[in-house]
A = this chain, B = another copy of it.
Amino acid sequence: MPIPDDNTLEESPLLVDLYQLTMLQSYLDQQMLEEAVFEFFVRRIPENRNFLLFAGLEQLLAFLERTRFSQGELDYLARTGLFRRNLIDYLAGFRFSGSVHAMPEGTLCFSNEPIVRITAPLPEAQLIETRLINLLQFQTLIATKAARCRIAAPDAKLVDFGLRRAHGAEAGLLAARACYLGGFDGTANVLAGLHYAVPILGTMAHAYIQAHDNEMEAFRHFADSQPNNLILLIDTYDTDRGAHRAAELADTLLPKGVVVKGVRIDSGEPGEEAFRVRRILDQAGHPEITIFASSNLDEQLLQKLVRRGAPIDGYGIGTSLTTSSDAPFLNCAYKLQEYAGIPRRKRSSGKATWPGRKQLYRYLDSRGKIEYDWLCRETETTMDATPLLEPVMHNGCRLTPPEAPADIRHRVQQQIGTLPDSLLSLEPAPPLPLRISARLQQLAQDTDRRFNR
């Protein structure tokens, strides 16, 4: 297998914590190359979340299939003086040859549940830790946030406007994917249209209005160039006047067969503004012109607006969505559970884990709502439920083709339907019970006895 000249940032195996490589040096020196099992899980879901929607598996699998060290990266590592030749040679031939078990993307998950399990020779399983967490955490955060917005506004058009304030390029792109999975209708992010076939939506900025000598001229010019995509931004100078002009333009365009689809309001208190603008449009005989609101929205505001009956047909959600600003990270981890056939666990204060390879079963009540999850050893089975972790990669090769985002999005809606009412609330609710199998509890005791030295 040839060594690549160069790597994209996203595929580089050097986007890694240094300790992965210092540990690898020792694993190689000691010939500790046996099979290791790591699991990715969230220790405790954020206080202001009642569930998480797992996302990011597709990007993880693509990374595992493709990541290789480039010649420049190998040379750099050699230059650091931290490593010996045996490690550099190992890395030159590195490719991920292990197995992956995972929940399907779009599955609901909760605290302390294994979401992804990696089985691979110890150095390989270790090396991928940093990027695995980096990829899985982010989209899970955003898909979850998006699902909360969808719960708050079930019938509105929801569009991702958050690329500009996402944390960098990859965050912007993957946020657009994740929010689509979570239930959004589309994104303003054009590259997400190309990469993930997420519907793209967009109209005009204030700069467009300002660059013209007056607002009406700007509206007319936009109608000339985008007759099929005519949503007018009406708050640059005076929102009411902007609304009147939108109605006036609609009258003018009607004979030409051009339709003003909507107006956008991007400032002020959106409910107040929308009620006023709706009245203006209706009185002008244009009940068909929709109202689209943006600017500092999140699911809490959405819920308030919807409950108040604000006449808003669609929302652009930006920063709060793509940064998951009220919960910008997950207390998640990727921990060694077994090495060389022996279950292991960490016992650090507040961070203890359940040892060994595990499986998770979900129990639904008669109405199809989740009652509890059951965490057990991988070898345990039950007739009453199906296992949530499925094999998705073997010997470094995918077992199934990538899922279409639209299919994952569909799964999400089905999954949200299994949430009990309490967990559908945007406010914190008591957590879903996680039951631990007796055999797993026994294993934990045995493991502690074995490593108590």
Contact = CB atoms under 8 A, between A and B. Distances in A.
Given A221-B29, A347-B237, A166 B163 contact: no
A210 interface: yes
Given A18-B190, A18-B202, A164-B17, A349 B211 contact: no
A133 interface: yes
Interface string A224-263: 1110110000011111000000000000000000000000
Contact of A188 (B19, B134, B200, B205): B19
Contacts of A189: 15-18
Contacts of A379: none
A21 interface: yes
A452 interface: yes
A190 B17 contact: yes
Interface residues of A, number: 108
B225 A193 contact: no
A167 interface: yes
Contact of A32 (B211, B347, B351): B211
A188 B208 CA distance: 44
Contacts of A23: 204-205, 207-208
Interface stretch (A122-130, A300-308, A418-426): A122-130
B171 A168 contact: yes
Contacts of A207: 23, 36, 38, 126, 129, 335-336
A225 B170 contact: no
Contacts of A164: 17, 129-130, 133-134, 137
A19 B202 contact: yes
Given A32-B211, A206-B336, A328-B323, A26 B225 contact: yes
Contacts of A452: 237
Q: How many protomers of this protein does the assembly include?
A: 2
Contacts of A325: 328-329
A345 interface: yes
A53 interface: no
Given A14-B190, A335-B207, A9 B348 contact: no
Interface in A317-338: 319, 323-325, 328-330, 332, 335-336
Contact of A225 (B25, B203, B336): B25
Given A17-B164, A26-B225, A30-B221, A210 B329 contact: no
A224 B26 contact: yes
Contacts of A32: 211-212
A200 B17 CA distance: 9
A201 interface: yes
Given A8-B8, A36-B211, A236-B346, 9 more contacts: A12-B191, A14-B191, A19-B204, A22-B225, A133-B164, A134-B166, A166-B167, A211-B336, A267-B349
11 contacts: A9-B170, A19-B202, A29-B225, A82-B226, A137-B164, A166-B167, A168-B169, A170-B171, A210-B336, A237-B452, A238-B347
